[in-house]
Chain A
Amino acid sequence: MKHNSPLKNISLLLPFITLFPVFCSFTWLADDEPMSDNVEIIEKIESSFEVKVFYRKAWLEHERLNDFDPAMKLTSALEEVFDGTLLYYFIYQEDTVILTKGDPLDASLVSSTIFNEPATGKSDTLDREAALENIREQANQIHQIGIPGKAGKTAVLSGKITGLYSNQQLPGTSVFIEGENNGTIADGDGTYRIALTTGYHEIRFTHVGMKPAVRKIQLYSDGDLDVQLQQEATSLKQVFITAEAAKKEREHIGFEKLESEKITELPSFMGEADIIKHSLLLPGIQSTGEGDMRFNVRGGKNDQNLVLLDGMHSYSNSHFFGFFPGISAGLVKDAEFYKAGMPLQYGGRISSVYNITLDPGNTSELSLHGGVSPVSLNLAVKGPLINEKLSFSAGARKTYSNWVMDLFSVRELTHSSMGFHDYQMKLSWRDNDKLSISGFFYQSYDDFVLHQDSSYTFTNQLASLNVNYHLSNQTAFHATLGYTRYNTSRTQRPSRFLAARFEQAIEDYKFSASLTHQIHPNHEILGGINVLRNTIDPWSREKDSEQSIVKPVAPNSDKALQGAIYLGDHLQLTPRFKLKAGIRYNMYALLGRETLYEFRDDRIHMDYLEDTHTYDENELAYFNGGPEYRISGSYQLVNHQYLNFGYDHNRQYIHLLTNTQAASPVDSWQLSNENIPPQVGDHLSIGYKNDIRRGRYIASLDLYYKSIRNIKDFIDGSQFELNPHPETEIVNARSQSYGLEMILKKKKGRLTGWIAYTLSKAKIKAQSQVAEKNINNGAYYPASFDKPHNLSMVINYEPTRRLMISNVIRFSSGIPMTLPVAKASLPGSQREVLFYSRRNEYRIPHYFRYDISLTYRGTLKKDPLWQSEWAFSLYNVTGRRNPYSIFYKKSHSGFRGYQLSIFGEPIPTITYQFKF
C-alpha cells in the first residue's frame, strides 16, 4: 500500500484546518494501526483513487462502511461507501477527502472560504489567514473595556455576536461568565447585554453550529465587546429547541415551545401533520375527542385559548370539522404555548396563548417544497426576493378527495363532496439590524355538500403586519396590525318551499404596540396598548330558492371595542431569582345598534322580562373593564433546578355558545352584554423543573388551580341560532379545575421523546334563580372534557440519519357523557322515548391509542437538487375501538346502545414530501 507523506498537503489545508479546528485532532492512520474492515475500506479508497482521507477513528466504531467497486468514479464510490451511515465526505482539491460526522460541511461556507479563491489568490488566502490570526489573538489577549478608574462596582457589557466572514447575526448565543454562574442569551439580532462586577472575567460565547469562543476582559465601566464566532466544521444536526427556548422552558411556568420539524416527524392522521393536535400530547392540554376542532387547557373552556398566527388571533384552526389542520405544519416555523404565566402583551382569553410563527423563508436560497398525502397536495415556495433583506414563503394546499371519492364510489356519499383548500403568504423584510417588518396573509375554505340538499362552507381569513424596531440597544418597539374574518354558512333544502341558508360572520381588526426598555441589565420594563374591534354578524337566515316561504331573519351586527393598556417589569432580583410582574387594564364597550333586555331579580328568562333597551348606531350599550394581573417568577434552587410559579387573572369578553360535547364550526360566537358578563379567571400554578445533565433530560412537575366565574354553560334544549336573546339559554356558571402535571423529556441523542402524566379535575357549577338554569340541581358536575388521568408517551428513535421511527402512545380516562338510563312510553303518540341521566353523569370507556411512523429521508446531502422524504405512518396500531361517542337506536326489540369509533382499525398512510 502506497502512502504519501501525511504532511505533503498540509500547507494547503492550513486555512481549512484552522477554520475547522475540529479537524486538527484528526487521526492519520499509520500502517501499523490494527485494521478493521472499515479501515480497510478507507485504505482501499486511498489506494484506488490516490487520495488521502482525513477522519476521526472513533467515528468508524459504530458504522459499517460499504465496499465499493474501484472502477467507479470517486464520488460514486464515496456515495456507496458512506450510504446509510452518519458520515459525510467532502472532496478537497481532488486528492483529499475529508469526512465529517453528523452533518455535511456547509457548502456555502466552504466555497466562500476555499473554492472561490483563484488559483493564484494567495493574497486572499493571506487575508483570511490574517483574519483568523486576528481571532486567535482576540481569544488570547485581555480586552480592556471601559474607562479605567471610573467609579462603579458593576458595569454593563454589551456587544454583537456575528459569524466570522458571513456577518450573520447569531441570536440565542449563550453568553456565560466562566466560574460565576452568571450569563445571558443574545437576543433576536445577536446582541447581548450583561451586568458584571468590574474587574477580570472570562466570558464564553456558545452558539449551536459555531465554535465556542472565550474572551478575557478587564472591565472598568460600561462598554462594548463584539465577538465573531467561527463556524464549526460539523454544523450540528438541526437543533430544534434553541438555547433561548430551552432557557425559557426552564424558567417560565407553563411554557412549551413546539417546532414544526419535530411535529412533522410524529405520526399523523392521513399524513396531515397538525401542530395543535400534537400539542395535546403535552400535559395540561386536552380535547374531547378525535374530531374536536378546539382544545381545553387546564380545565378551561375551548373558547378560552388565544391562537395567534403571526400575531393575529384566529377563530378556526382546522379543516373538515376538526379532522385536519388548518395550516400545513411545514409552513410553520415554531409555536410557543403558554398554559400559565401568559405574556403581558396578550389578553382577552382566559386559559392559554398559542403563538404560532410562520416560516419567514430563507434569505439566501430559493426552495420548492411539496407533499402528497392521501387527503391533500401541498406546495410551498420559500426564498429571497432581495438577497439578505427581503424573503418570502408562500404555500397552498388543496384536497383532491372528491376525485378520490368518485374513484372509490362510496355509495353513501354519492352526490356528496368534501373539499378544502388554504393558501398563505409571508413577506419578511429586514433592514440592517434595527428594523424588521413582516406581512402575512392566510385564507382557508371548506366546503361540504351532502346529497346536494344540504351544505356547509367555512371561510377563514387572516392578515397581519408586524414591525420590530430597535431604537437602541436598550429599547425595542413592536407593533402588530391584524385582521381576521371567519365566516360559516349552511344551507338546507328539505323541499324547495323550505330551502334556507344560514350564515354567521365574525370580523376583527386589531392594533397592538409595545415598547420594552432595559433600564439595567437586570431590569427591563415593558408597556403597551392593544385595541381590538370585534364585529359579529349573528346567524341570519335567508331564502335559498325562489319559492321558499322561509322568513328571512337578519339580526343587527354586534360591535364591540376592546382596549387594554399594560405595564410590566422583568426583574432579576438576585442571580437566582427572576420575577415578571405586570398589570393590564382592559376595557370593553358594546356599541349599537343593539337591543338589550333587562330582567327582574337576576332572573334571565323571558318570563321575567322587565324592559327592552335599544341603542342607536355606535351608541354605548354596555361597558365593562377591569385589571388583569400577570405575575410569574423563577427561583433557581441549585445548579439546574428551578422553582417556577405564576398567577394570572384574566378577563374575556367574547364567548363561544355551544351545547354539544365538542365545539363545532357552526357554533355561535357572542359578545358580552349586561346579561352575558365577561368571564373572569384566576389561575395559580407552581412548578419544579430539573434540567438534568445540561439539558439532556428535563423533568418537570406542575401543580395548578384555576377558578373561572361566568363561564358560559347551556340549558337543556338551548337554541342559540337565530335567538335574539341567547342569554336566556345560557347560565353564567362557575368552573373549578386543579391538577398535577408531570413530564420527563429526553431531548438529546438518538432516542428522544417524553412521557407525560396529568392528574386533573375540571368541573362546572351552573346555578341560577331560574329553575331550568340549575343544571344538575346547581351542583358541581364534571366538564365535558374532564379526563382525570392522562398519559402520553412520545418515543423517537433515529437508528441512522436517514431513518426516524416515532412512537406515540396515549391513554386517558373516558370523557363524561349523558346516557339514557330508562325509557318512557307515550302510547298516545305511539312512541317510546329515552330518559336520560343527569348531565355528564356517566363516562365512556377509557381511551388508548398507539401510533407509529417511519420517516425515510432520500438523501442526506446538505444541498442536493432534490431532497425527498417518505413517511409511513400507522395510526391506531392496536386497532382499539375507542368509543368516540355513544348513541341509541330503536329496533323491533327495543332500544340498543352503540358506540361509534372513528379510528376503529389500524390506518396506514404513506406521505411523500420533497424539497427542490
Chain B
Amino acid sequence: MKLKHLKWIFLFFSWVVTCCTDPFDPGITDYEKVLVVEGLITDQPGPYRVTLSRTTPINSEEAIAEEGALVRISDDHGNEAVLQETSPGVYETQKTDIQGVSGRAYTLHIHTYNGQTFESEQVVLQTVPEIDSIYTTYQEKYSFDYNKILPGIQINVDTEAWDPQEDYYLKWDYEETWKIEPLWRSVEMEYKPCWKKEYNNAVLLENTSEYTSNQLVGYPLTQYSNESYKFFDGYSILVTQYALNHSAYQFWKMVDESSKDNGSIFDNVPFNPQSNIFNSGDDATRVFGYFDAAGVDQKRVYFETPLHGLNFKSYYSHFDCDLYMMRPSLYYNSGKVHKSWVLWENPLIDTLAYTFDKECIDCSMFTTTTKKPSFWAYD
C-alpha cells in the first residue's frame, strides 16, 4: 500500500547520506499506439466535445490526432447525435443535437477510420450540488524554498448541502487568471496590462460517502504563501465542480495515484487507469481515457489585495527593473541607447529615466495575452 509521504523519508536520507536524482532514459522506442479518448457531456448547454488521439512518445512534442472517425453519443431515450470533426481529432456536437439531462444514461460510440469500433459504458448524468462559495482563509505554511513558515492563504470551496440520501463523486478543476501590470510606463511603447492563465495540476477528487456531512465546507483547493506573485494586480479563479460517474472517478483516481509517483519502492506499481471505453471486438485492444456524463456547476470569484493583510509579491521581484536617470544628451550619446528602454523624459529638469529589461515595461514578454478577458470585471 502506498506510503503517501515517502518523499520525505528520502529527504531524511538526503540529509544522512547523499541522495541523488539523476536523469534516466530507458531508451524505449517501440510502443503501442493506443487510442486516447476524452469525452464529456454535461447538463450545461453544448456543444460537447470528444477528442480522439493516439499515444505519442514521451519526449515528442507532436500530437497524433485520430482523424476521420465516426463519433456518436446516444442516450437511453433513443436520442442520438453524430459529432462533427471541427479540427483534427476534435469532434463536437451541434448546439441543437443533444442536451445533457439529469438522470439519463449516455453512451459514446466510436468507429475509427481504420475500422475499429469502440463503445463506452453507459454513464448516467447526475446533477451536481452547487458551489456555495469560494473564499480564502489565512494559512501559515512551511515553505521549502524559504526554509521558514510563511503566512499565506488557502483557497477553499464550500458546496451547498445536498440530499443526505445522495452520494457524489465530486471533482474540481480550476482555472486561475491573474493580471500583471508592467512595472514602468515607457514612452517607447503603449502601456498594456497582461493576463496569465493556469490550470490546476493536482487531481481534486472526493467521494462524499467517505464523509458524515452532506455538505463539504472548507475544502482546500490550493494554497499560496505571501511569496506568490499571483495576487499583486488582481486574481480570478473559475472553479468547476463535477458530479462524476464511478468509472470516471476511478479513472481520475488512478491518474492521480500514478502521477503522484515520487520514486519510492513503496509507491504503487504504476499502471494505466482503467478506461470505461472498450473495443467492441476484442478485449486485448487497449483504450486510454474515459467518457463521462457529469452534472456541472461553475463559479468565478475575484480576489484583490490586501488579502488577510498580506503583502504579496509582484511578479517584478524576479526581474532587475531598477530605474536609472541621466541627462538625455548623455544618454543618447551612450551605448545604453540600444540596451535599455526610456521610461520618460522631462525637458524641464533635463532628465531621462530608463531601465534595462524590456520585461519591465512589457509584460507580454512572459505572459500569454494582453487582451482583457471577457470575464474580467475590474480594470
Contacts and interface: CB of A to CB of B under 8 A. Distances in A.
A828 B40 contact: yes
Most buried by A among B24, B254, B265, B283: B265
Interface in B4-29: 4-6, 8-26, 28
Name the residue in A823, A825, A837 with the highest tally of chain B Cβ atoms < 10 Å from its Cβ. Answer: A825
B194 interface: no
Contact of B254 (A323, A716, A895, A899): A716
A822 B31 contact: yes
A884 B19 CA distance: 10
3 closest cross-chain pairs (CB), A and B: A887-B263, A904-B20, A716-B271
Interface in A314-368: 320-321, 323
B22 A824 contact: no
Given A321-B3, A834-B270, A887-B262, 20 more contacts: A270-B16, A412-B14, A454-B5, A456-B5, A820-B270, A821-B32, A822-B33, A822-B55, A825-B56, A830-B199, A833-B255, A834-B258, A837-B28, A875-B17, A881-B22, A883-B24, A894-B61, A900-B20, A901-B22, A902-B19
Interface stretch (A94-102, A492-500, A577-585): A492-500
Contacts of A875: 17
B41 to A, nearest CB: 11
B55 A818 contact: no
B104 interface: no
Interface string A715-727: 0110011000000
A289 interface: yes
Contacts of B96: none
B253 interface: yes
A659 B1 contact: yes
Contact of A408 (B8, B15, B154, B259): B15
B359 interface: no
A897 B268 contact: no
Contact of B26 (A405, A496, A897): A897
B210 A551 contact: yes
A107 B92 CA distance: 95
Contacts of B184: none
Interface string A662-701: 1011111000000000000000000000000000000000
A432 interface: no
A818 B270 contact: yes
A822 B32 contact: yes
Contact of B53 (A824, A831, A885): A824
Interface stretch (B211-219, B304-312, B344-352, B365-373): B211-219
A412 B2 CA distance: 21
A270 B16 CA distance: 9
A259 interface: no
Interface stretch (A304-312, A413-421, A509-517): A413-421
B376 interface: no
A818 B26 CA distance: 11
Contacts of B85: none
B57 interface: yes
Contacts of A374: 16
B257 interface: yes
Contacts of A822: 31-34, 55-58
B58 A411 contact: no
Most buried by A among B22, B25, B284: B22
A837 B142 CA distance: 37
B265 A495 contact: no
A827 B209 CA distance: 30
Contacts, number: 264
Nearest to B20: A904
A613 to B, nearest CB: 24
B269 A495 contact: no
Interface in A261-311: 270, 288-289, 291-292
B248 to A, nearest CB: 11
B53 A825 contact: yes
Interface in A410-457: 410-416, 418, 448, 450-451, 454, 456
Contacts of A667: 1
Contacts of B5: 450, 454, 456
Given A411-B144, A822-B57, A899 B22 contact: yes
A47 interface: no
A544 B147 CA distance: 28
A20 interface: no
A549 B199 CA distance: 28
B193 interface: no
Nearest to A720: B1
A451 B142 contact: yes
B289 interface: yes
Contact of A900 (B12, B19, B34): B19
B238 to A, nearest CB: 13
A72 interface: no
A826 B49 CA distance: 12
B288 A836 contact: no
Interface string B254-294: 11011101111111111111100000000110001100000
Given A819-B28, A834-B258, A492 B4 contact: yes
Interface in A836-868: 836-837, 839-840, 842
Given A448-B9, A901-B22, A292 B271 contact: no
B264 A885 contact: yes
A825 B51 CA distance: 9
A899 B31 CA distance: 21
A660 B6 CA distance: 12
A660 B16 contact: no
Given A668-B1, A900-B10, A660 B288 contact: no
Contacts of A821: 28, 31-32, 58
Of B17, B266, B267, most buried by chain A (CB within 10 Å of CB) is B266
Contacts of B39: 828
Contact of A549 (B26, B142, B211): B211
B263 A885 contact: yes
Contacts of B148: 414
